[in-house]
A and B are shown apart, each in its own frame.
Chain A
Amino acid sequence: MSGQSSPTFGNLDWEVTPYTDLLEHVNSSTIIGAGAASVLVLGAFAGIALLTYMRWWKPLFRDWLTSADAKKIGIMYIALALVMMARGIIEGLVMRAHQATALGALDKAETGLVAPDHFAQLFSTHGTIMIFFVAMPLLIGLINFVLPQQLGARDMAFPVLNQVSLGLTAAGAGLVMVSLLIGDFGTGGWTMYPPYTGLDYSPGEGVDYWLWAILISGVGSTLTGMNFAVTIFKSRAPGMHLMRMPLFCWTSLCVAIMLIYAMPALTVSSAMLALDRYAGFHFFTNASGGNMMNYANIFWMFGHPEVYILILPAFGVFSEISSTYSGKRLYGYTSLVIASMSIAVVSFMVWLHHFFTMGQSAGVNIAFGIATMIIGIPTGVKIYDWMATMWRGRVRITAPVVYLVGFFLLFVIGGLSGIILANPSIDYQVHNTTFLVAHFHNVIIPGVLYGMLAGVHYWFPKAFGFRLDESWGRRTALLFVGGFIFTFMPLYVLGLMGLPRRSPTFQDPDFLPWMYIASFGAVLMLAALFCLLWTFWKSYRHRMSLSVPGGDPWNGSSLEWSTPAPVPEWTFASIPKVQARGDWGETKRAGDPWRAPDSYADIEMPANTAHGLIIAGMAFALGFAMVWHIWWLAALSFFAITAALIWRGMRVIEPRIIPARQVEEEDRRFREYVAGATPITRADEESERNRGVPDCSEFAG
């Protein structure tokens, strides 16, 4: 970036790409930078070429991008998350490779694979991507797909708003992606603490990329939270009382509440930092009455609830699969509901544990330390409930169950290290070391990642009509478990030995063996990623033998298993009348579950619209323009967004009507198929005989 700012292009010029750096100095760091940019460019070209060659543009636009169907939106969220996850995992590997080669000396600061500044960008993008553009889209996507089906609703309460939320998330992810090619990303970590990220110490576009990615996607997440909450409160099927909802719905409700009340804090802290940077305000500067401690305070007011936003859906998934795959009712439903809700509320009272060392008095630290430890109680309750659910069940060791067992073993260790960190005097010793890095990966990977992948595996047949290959699924899960252990257990040791987190170099040769082990683990994690992709590919190739048109491949008990697979756009031919908790299971127990509804009616579905796409495009343009100080474009896109909203308000929008005849026809066909198929027992679940029609007599749960 050169000094002058032009009115048309702002701070943009030809020197912002990593290729310029490569031309200036050729070393491993610039090669990696340029390589990553090339992967982005080539990937984009390959994608465009593929879409053009296969003539997929039109179906992509018509069936996906303009669809307001929560199920499709959910799938798109998950696709986005998987793409971003590939980048995040590769960055993790590069960081590990760097640190494995980063043994330096006091007089030799720059060592290892990448330059210090490049390393800082790596952990900043990795953290930002993994939290905001992998974990969040994964869980929001899964909730979008599952929640309405489990509630007996056709769609979210606000389908088009849902589309807008997805668009805003994608726009934020796009900004982070573009920073690979155009300019640099910030170097302040995923938390971007000022004053380091203020204008004085971080001039340039890096922090702004983070700010706009966060602000834009943050609005999307807030709207999502609102959408989930209203859906749960207002769109349940008749008879679906709150206490009859599957546990995944409850944890979704907790997520909704936390999104609604925690995201504003992130918006505020980021907006304040943006004002400091763009308009010379003094919220967090060193001079003129700024107070950077207030940033840490507000940021973590969001940050802590955020980690429970991440983990609770996983708890929901584990509740579903522990019961389904052991063929038993969920043990301690009420206690699980109470535990989830108390986690959600208590998580708003503990945020100070992220900055025990900031200098407040011991009394304050103790208050928040105790509050933190209290969260361990409901979490412990849950673990026992799941174990009790599986106790004496006929557990099938499917891929989700492998994830579940890995979660049991590892998450408890992560949770315990969290309880250790909740003690302020211990935290003073290990704060900001890799002990902390080990702790949060230890809860995030076995918790969120395993939970979401288990969920994807579990509900995949509902979305696409065929099961995922179990053997490859199990291999993937085992690789993720093993990879995790090798990558992160050494970091506990390194942290106790005194390695600060985010270190581009270190001088103690004793660290090296542990570094090598961790790097090996990171390779395993990458292998797990490939294995995951291979699972999808392989299952796609064998989709005929894996197909489960009957729709109930695991003999489940919640409503979503009562419909065909893939689930039709309107989900339910007629909205079910719920009689009990685990209604579908009870219906199966009573016998003859697949009875056709008495009559069919026209179904109103939200019409397709490009509204979300337009807003997403404009939001991306707005963010990009603000990052590069292209003021005219920023103003233009801001007004375009406003105009789009007002214009949509003016129009009368008619829903799309699906005629009763069509619904009836498809539903008849489904019911005939089920009637003709041979039911299979659970023992046969993995075989080709599984056509999604379970043997009801076996339904003990």
Chain B
Amino acid sequence: MSSNNGLYPGLNLGSVHDEAHQQAEATVFGFWVFLMSDLIIFGILFASYASYLNPIGMAGAPGPQALFNLKSVAIQTAFLLFGGVAYAGVSLSMKYDHGAKKLIGWLLICALLGGGFLFFEISDFIDQAAKGGKPQASGWLSSYWLLVGLHGFHVFSGIVWILAMVGQILTRGVDDVVKVRLSMLGVFWHFLDLIWVGIFSFVFLVPLA
């Protein structure tokens, strides 16, 4: 591959700007570090979820069998997967200078797919609460709501961030700072996908297996 190898996807600040590159690299690396901290939060929540996943933790409240709707989970999975891949559009049109319009278009597609995910997730939550699966019902439900809810909140923040980036592109154009932020957003967006893989596998599928 080219000498650009090892750079962040979509970062194209031009080789003359060595310092800009370094700064960009440091910034995105810092964001990775931050995400690793986030990863630990999710990891502890996964482990806690496992420790409440037993008859004592469920305390007679409805359990996975009664509450989980795998079809909806599958739909959410699809939304997130396509939402994640759609970010490829953002990265590539940023890297190959396809112009602000295309960039914004792809960003909005990502936000839309994320929104679709949230729609199904929230209707699931409402459903579960109606069936007696409120977080206040048992330790297991508390941990379920916190883990899945936190992921949902991340997706929501991702959408807010996407919209903020659209705002930035409109106000300041696609400058180097915006590019760096877009690549951080990309890492974030893909990271959420990755956490979701853990969630649908271990939170939803394993207890029902």
Contact = CB atoms under 8 A, between A and B. Distances in A.
B142 A234 contact: no
Interface in B64-90: none
Interface stretch (B24-32, B123-131, B196-204): B24-32
Given A226-B34, A235-B26, A260-B33, A650 B136 contact: no
A291 interface: yes
A229 interface: yes
A264 B41 contact: yes
A287 B59 CA distance: 8
Given A230-B29, A234-B22, A289-B57, A281 B135 contact: yes
B148 to A, nearest CB: 14
B61 A226 contact: no
Contact of A301 (B25, B44, B135, B160): B44
Q: How large is the interface on A (under 10, 10 to 19, 20 to 34, 35 or more residues)?
A: 35 or more
Nearest to B34: A226
Contacts of A263: 37
B171 to A, nearest CB: 6
Given A157-B26, A227-B30, A234-B22, A291 B139 contact: yes
Contact of B138 (A222, A279, A282, A649): A282
Interface in B97-153: 135-143, 145-146
A275 interface: yes
Interface string B145-172: 1100000000000001000100110011
B54 to A, nearest CB: 9
A649 B26 CA distance: 18
Contacts of B172: 650, 652
B58 interface: yes
A380 interface: no
A649 B171 CA distance: 11
Contacts of A282: 59, 136-139, 141-142
Among A223, A260, A276, A289: residue with most chain B CB under 10 A: A289
B181 interface: yes
Contacts, number: 119
Given A261-B40, A268-B45, A281-B136, A289 B58 contact: yes
Contacts of A225: 37
A182 B40 CA distance: 35
B52 A291 contact: yes
Nearest to A261: B40
Contact of A294 (B30, B48, B171): B48
Contact of A264 (B38, B61, B181): B38
Given A275-B142, A298-B44, A650-B168, A289 B33 contact: no
A646 interface: yes
A285 B145 CA distance: 16
Among A158, A265, A283: residue with most chain B CB under 10 A: A283
Given A233-B29, A289-B57, A649-B168, A264 B136 contact: no
B164 A649 contact: yes
A170 B198 CA distance: 36
A234 B29 contact: yes
B194 interface: no
23 contacts: A226-B30, A226-B34, A227-B30, A229-B33, A235-B26, A260-B33, A263-B37, A264-B38, A268-B45, A271-B146, A272-B146, A275-B135, A275-B146, A276-B142, A281-B135, A282-B59, A282-B142, A287-B59, A288-B59, A288-B138, A294-B48, A649-B168, A652-B172
Interface of B: 22, 25-27, 29-30, 33-34, 36-38, 40-41, 44-45, 48, 51-52, 56-59, 61, 135-143, 145-146, 160, 164, 167-168, 171-172, 175, 177, 181
